[in-house]
């Protein structure tokens, strides 16, 4: 084989491989059934033509048989009339129709046998096409089920992939971190509010202590509003009073 022959073989094999890969089983099955049904229609037409020929041959045979019987009747009538010559002519015509009728009979019998075989073949072909149509539906159902299983397996394979679970875990960790940060910010806000409240009370306590100390100091010094509170500690200052001369002591 020359280089061009081998190149052609390689090209044909590659093209056939591409066609095989591109074939859709469902479309191919539908097309095959459609071709079968079209062939069945053509076969029915051919069988119908053969049956028509059979009927035509049968009709011609019947016609020749009827004419032979008619010439026999005429020959008998000529014999009764005492005309043997006319009877011989009638019998001669009868013989011609018998011979021709025999040929038609043979052709009809062969045609009938052929038509019977064609009917059986057509019936078998019809049954096979009907069976193929039913099988086609089963095959298409199997194909769809196989595709569904492939999709499920591919999905399961994707779920079993560690990278998918790792990504899922990373997302979960990020969400956990976000929740923790939100909780921490909430706690810090609560602590800040608590600290501010405590500082206010400490400031109030400090102010109260300072006020008490100031009031105590003022009371001790006898000044301010605290004098009435500790009068016994107050410093007494005596002022001399002049007594009139006419008043007895």
- Output the CA angle 72-73-77, nearest 5 degrees: 115
Q: Is the pLDDT of residue 49 over 70?
A: yes
Taking only the tens place, the pLDDT of each residue in 100-155 is 999 999 999 999 999 999 999 889 888 888 888 888 888 888 888 888 888 887 77
- Output the CA angle 87-92-95, nearest 5 degrees: 125
Q: Are 69 and 97 in contact (CB under 8 A)?
A: no
Taking only the tens place, the pLDDT of each residue in 153-179 is 777 776 665 566 677 778 888 888 888
Work out the angle between the directed axes of helices 25-80 and 84-160 (0-180°, nearest 10).
170
Q: How far is CA 29 from CA 26, 132, 133, 141, 233, in A?
A: 5, 9, 9, 12, 125
**How many residues comprise the chain?**
249
Q: How many CA atoms lie within 13 A of 127 on its CB side?
A: 6
What are the structure tokens assigned to 129, written together? 């096409």
Q: Which residue has the higher pLDDT, 146 or 9?
A: 146
Domain boundaries, the chain: 20-160, 162-203
Q: What is the mean pLDDT of residues 198-213?
A: 72
Burial of 90 (0-12, 13-18, 19+ CB in 10 A): buried
pLDDT of residue 20: 52
Model confidence, pTM: 0.48
Task: State the Cα–Cα distance between residues 196 and 180, nearest whole angstrom.
Answer: 24
Residues 6+ apart with CB under 8 A from 229: 219
What are the structure tokens assigned to 96, written together? 């011609």
């Amino acid at each position: 084989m020359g280089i061009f022959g081998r190149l052609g073989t390689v090209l044909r094999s590659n093209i056939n491989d591409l066609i095989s890969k591109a074939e859709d089983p469902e479309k191919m099955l539908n097309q095959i059934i459609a071709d079968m049904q079209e062939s069945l229609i053509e076969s029915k037409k051919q069988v119908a033509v053969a049956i028509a020929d059979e009927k035509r041959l049968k009709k011609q045979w019947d016609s020749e048989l009827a004419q032979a019987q008619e010439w026999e009747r005429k020959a008998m009538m000529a014999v009764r009339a005492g005309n043997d010559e006319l009877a011989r002519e009638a019998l001669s015509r009868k013989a011609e129709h018998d011979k021709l009728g025999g040929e038609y009979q043979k052709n009809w019998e062969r045609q009938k046998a052929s038509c019977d075989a064609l009917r059986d073949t057509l019936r078998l072909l019809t049954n096979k096409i009907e069976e193929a149509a039913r099988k086609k539906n089963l095959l298409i159902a199997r194909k769809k089920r196989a595709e569904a299983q492939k999709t499920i397996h591919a999905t399961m394979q994707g779920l079993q992939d560690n990278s998918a679970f790792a990504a899922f875990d990373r997302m979960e960790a990020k969400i956990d971190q976000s929740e923790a940060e939100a909780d921490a910010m909430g706690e810090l806000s609560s602590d800040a509010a608590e600290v501010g409240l405590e500082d206010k009370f400490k400031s109030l306590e400090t102010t109260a202590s300072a006020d008490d100390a100031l009031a105590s100091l003022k009371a001790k010094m006898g000044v301010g509003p605290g004098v009435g509170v500790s009068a016994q500690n107050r410093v007494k200052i005596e002022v001399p009073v002049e007594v009139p001369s006419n008043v007895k002591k």
